[in-house]
Amino acid sequence: MPSAPPSGVTLQLIAENNRWNTSRLDAPAARTFTVELDNRDQSPQEFHNFGILDGPNVEDRIYVSPKSNGPITSMFEIPGLPAGTYAFICTVHPVTMVGVLAVR
């Protein structure tokens, strides 16, 4: 929903030790929202990003941010999504950095 109105909602997410600080995020349906990603991993070789998927395949990716190494805090504006349940992941660490994005 690229023309969705803004919600003013910012979801905070921390990446540390190749893990997210939470396994669930809640976002408003049909409105844009922001994800603030605080990458606290300090190794120059340790990259993270934020992705939203609507299924298990690469073509199911709804959004994927650029990769960055920490420490750094990045803000990502997410387009409006229909109500539903999505996965959020770090595409670099999809086994250890995965959670549920509930859009209501």
Domain boundaries, the chain: 6-103
* Closest to 24 measured CA to CA, from 34, 37, 11: 11
- Cα(81)–Cα(74) distance, integer angstroms: 21
* Closest to 75 measured CA to CA, from 50, 41, 47: 50
- Cα(60)–Cα(53) distance, integer angstroms: 5
DSSP character string of the chain = -TTPPEEEEEEEEEEETTEES-SEEEE-TTSEEEEEEEE----TT-EE--EEESSSSGGGEEEEPPPEESSEEEEEEEPP--SEEEEEE-TTSTTTSEEEEEE-
Residue range 49-78: average pLDDT?
Answer: 91
Question: pLDDT tens for residues 11-54?
Answer: 999 999 999 999 999 999 999 999 999 999 987 778 999 999 99
The class that CATH gives domain 6-103 is mainly beta
Question: pLDDT tens for residues 53-63?
Answer: 998 777 789 99
pLDDT above 70 for 1: no
The pLDDT value recorded for residue 44 is 74
